Structure 1
Amino acid sequence: MAEREFVSELACTLRVPQRTAQTLIAESRALTEDLPATREALQNGEITYRHAQVLIGQAWTVPDEAKAAFEASLLRSAGRLTAAKLKYNARKLRERLHPETITARHERSVADRATYFQAEADGMASLVLYDSVDRVQSAYDRVTTAALSLQGPDEPRTLTQLRTDVLTDLLIDGVTPSGLGKGIRATVNVTVPVLTLMGRSEEAGHLEGYGPIDPDTARRLASGAPSFTRLLVHPETGVVLSVGRTSYKVPKDLKRWLRIRDETCRFPGCNRAAAHSDLDHSLDWQFQGRTAHDNLAHLCPGCHSLKSETGWRLEHLGDGRLEWTSPTGRSFTSEPGTDLATDQPR
């Protein structure tokens, strides 16, 4: 917990995610203690930091007695190669130097399989899958085969577009062999200004977890799709018109209002979705904390622990803004995911 307390403050100070701060610390330690020649080459401008990261990433699991030779071998050509080509060479060399079999390392690495969502510009986003190569390659081949079957003289979409459409259709409507997913549809919240919904304004809508979306998409999502929660928002005041009220206990409507407001865990830099975090009383219930919008915020389990077990302090500033004070006295403001522009939910 002491290490997490330090990392969290460094992350907030540098305005990077905590995982990025952890990586930065580890890379700095590697350059200082394990790869001094790489640090010197970087300092002299012979390689870029991206090249240095490639060497660090591959050297972490090379035996200590072999690191100097590993580093020297790669640095001989690093200045003439792209980072991608250097990584390819480093992977091959690492295989020869690593004392463990690739089978043992693969079995351990499978535990790190993951899927990432990344918001992009212009109403787009990326979905990244990291898993065992046989599973990923099989999934890619299946999608490609299905996309190829759709090609024809009357099909205007490219293979890349078809492959993407097939994949999203399978993910949204598909069912696993065990039956998982049958009858399950994703639910997200889309906030649409009233005049946009009526076609009298082209003001952007707001999709939970992403941000601004084009008016046509917002109108389509709000037009009656059963898997979307429709929220009508006044175009001038931003007050939510259809949900939200204060109650002694957290009522369903207030929970929804807070989820829309927060979108993510409210610790600075944490991006875990509010839908997968807990509503926390900022002033604990046992210390006379109120169950109210200005004393509630979503926190993931890890950030909840920071608030409860370290020197971090939290204060509500109004309009959904939170001020976090670090153990050394630095202040950081957490802005709400959606600006509802009101201190009182209605």
Structure 2
Amino acid sequence: MGEFEQDAPEHARPRGIEDAGSAVPGRRSATPAHPVLPSRLRAVHEASLEESRRLAVRFRALAPSFLDPAEDGTDEDEAEAELLAAALALRCTRAVAARIVRDAHRAVTELPRTLERLETGEFPAAWFERILRRTRHLTAARMEDVDAATVHWPVSLTAEQFQLRLSRLLSRLESQQESPAHMTPEGRRRVELLPTRDDGIGCLRVIGPAPEILDLARRLDAAARAVQAAQRRAFETGERIPLDPRGTAAETGKVASLALLQYDLLGGAALDTDGIPVPRPRFRLNVTVPVLTLLGGSEEPGMLEGTIPIPPAMARELAGQSTTWYRVLTDPCTGAFLPLPAERYTPTRAMLEHLRLRSSTCAVPGCTRSTSWASEADHIEEYCHEDPERGGLTELENLHLLCWQHHRAKTAGLLDPARLPCTPGLPGRTAWSIHDRVSVMVRDGTDLASPAMTRELMDSWTRYEAAREGRRRALERRKDPPPAPPPPF
């Protein structure tokens, strides 16, 4: 199947035209295999060749870490432990490591010949990674066709020519295979929260079959236009402005934009669960705001859910809208969250909130699952129900929040945390052993604003003291002027 993307055989090419890097022995090639570069750029080219070689080495080293959970006999917890170990080696999150490890497995098993070209440095690393990204939905049989084609592509191709060849190849192969259920438009229905940006902007994405998405957009647009028309009538008649939750339209005297109305309609939409009761939220939505930021004396950002920085103005606005405030105590120099007392097996609500402030994601290194939803409180040293005095007490130093999967893996013995002795006022530490293969020490999360605010206050106090001392010395000089110099004769 791959032959239609290979270079034309020598006898089929017009005379005088050759691909770079494929010259016939004994005949001079029309163009060199590699670009002719000035001396200052040769090192850059050599670095790109080395990048290809390093990528191949990484793929071969990571490929054995892939344990397919869909295969019979695969231990799911064993696969998870191997994945966490790979994440620590890669210095990335568990989710990113899962993608890299799967790509490494595919590179070794599905693109073996092109991988050999990558190992020599001949095949660009960016090309190989693009092939892996674009072919994740293809079957193993179709990947054989991809490998048979790409192994012959000359390095003299431009980036644009490579992308065109790849798109053309994939279009042909996709038409020859039946898409799995989860890759069909119907199978890809989902709503996902995208990573939050550092400027306080979030994004919720809705994916599904185009007719359904277009219909949703049409209904949302029609509803917003109807509200906009009602707002215009309200301005004309002097009635109350409808759908104006922030009072923007009433304050400015202008109807809201369609974009803002659509946003407000979605935000206020009722979620019909067909009579199914929805449990009360386990955690509150935490917005942590330094007190000096609240008072307008600092521009230190606030934090939403412990991981999302929000601008100071937004933090002050959210704080002003809240009817209930909770005090969170932190060490002023280190930012460590100060412990609260606890006395029973089941952690109190205040303890759970403290643990979530200390770690907004699952405590296992590399896991990014949020502790705001389906997390489970776990005793680091197991609680002894028969004799609680023997250890495993329900106290903050012996508790952490885990996602359900890693809680199960810890119970199975694949994850072994140990709380290390800590100094009061400093962040706590936990030593993790992952299936006796990898060991790593993880520090507790801290409030990043506290040390910065302390430094600001100390700097301000130092400047104040210096200014006061300067004024004192100036006053002393005025009270006791130096003696007049003797006459020059």
TM-score (norm 2): 0.56
SS in 1 for 2:160: coil
Report what 2:431 is aligned to. 323
State how 1:100-111 maps to structure 2 within 5 Å. 100=178, 102=179, 104=181, 110=187
231-240 or 1-10, which moves further after superposition?
Answer: 231-240
Larger deviation, residues 69-78 vs 279-288: 69-78
Give runs of aligned pairs for residues 83-232 of structure 1, distance below 5 A.
89=168, 91-98=170-177, 100=178, 102=179, 104=181, 110=187, 113-143=190-220, 163=259, 165-166=260-261, 168-176=263-271, 187-225=284-322, 230-231=326-327
Counting strand residues as a fraction of each chain, which structure ranks higher? 1
Quote the offset at 1:57 in angstroms: 1.4
Contact 2:341/2:395 (8 A) holds in 1 = no
**Residues 290 and 449, structure 2, Cα contact 8 Å, conserved in 1:** no
Aligned to 1:53: 132
- Kindly report the root-mean-square deviation, in angstroms, between the aligned alpha carbons of the 2 structures: 4.1
**How far did 1:299 drift?**
0.3
Of 63, 74, 82, 1:6 maps to 82
Question: Percent identity at matched positions?
Answer: 23
Matched, 1:255 2:352: yes
1:70/1:93 contact within 8 Å kept = no
Residues 209 and 264 in structure 1, CA contact (< 8 A), matched pair in contact too: no
Distance in 2 between residues matched to 1:120 and 1:300, nearest whole Å:
24
Cα distance in 2 for partners of 1:182, 1:175 equals: 14
Gaps of 5+ in 2: 1-76, 233-253, 385-389, 452-489
- Is 294-303 or 245-254 further displaced after alignment? 245-254
Contact between 2:380 and 2:398, CA under 8 Å: does it hold in 1?
A: yes
How far residue 300 of structure 1 moved from its aligned partner, in angstroms, is 0.4
Deviations 1:199-219 (A, max 9, x none): 233222221153332222111
- The match for 1:39 among 106, 112, 115 is 115
* Residues 58 and 94, structure 1, Cα contact 8 Å, conserved in 2: no
Q: Which residue of 2 aligns with 1:280?
A: 378
CA distances 1:161-195 after superposition (whole Å, capped 9, x unpaired) = x54x4554344321145578999999510112222
CA contact (8 A) 2:224 2:262 kept: no
8 Å contact from structure 1 (residues 10, 21) kept in 2? yes
Asked if 2 retains the 8 angstrom alpha-carbon contact of 1:267 and 1:334, the reply is no
Structure 1: gaps of 5 or more residues: none
* Counterpart check, 1:265 vs 2:374: no
Q: Which has the larger radius of gyration?
A: 2
Contact 2:200 2:311 in 1 (8 A): yes
Q: 1:336 aligns with which of 438, 445, 452?
A: 445
Give the distance between the partners of 1:134 and 1:103, measured in 2 at CA: 20
Partner deviation per Cα, 1:222-268 (whole Å, 9 max, x = no partner): 12435x76445579365879x94433342222222222222111111
- How far apart are 1:20 and its partner, in Å? 2.5
SS of the aligned residue for 1:270 comes to coil
State the aligned residue count. 330
Q: Could you tell me which of 332, 341, 355 is aligned with 1:236?
A: 332
Counting only pairs closer than 5 Å after superposition, residues 47-86 of structure 1 correspond to structure 2 as 48-59=127-138, 61=139, 64=141, 66-73=142-149, 80-81=159-160
Greater Cα shift, 12-21 or 285-294: 12-21
Are residues 333 and 38 of structure 1, via their aligned partners in 2, closer, same or farther at CA, if it must alter by over 3 Å?
same
Shift of 1:285: 0.7
One of 407, 423, 431 as aligned partner of 1:304:
407
Query: Partners in 1 of 2:162 and 2:444 — Cα distance?
Result: 37
Once the 2 structures are TM-superposed, how far is the Cα of residue 123 of structure 1 from its aligned partner?
A: 2.3
| Amino acid in structure 1 at the alignment position of 2:382 | D
* SS of 2:356 mapped into structure 1: helix
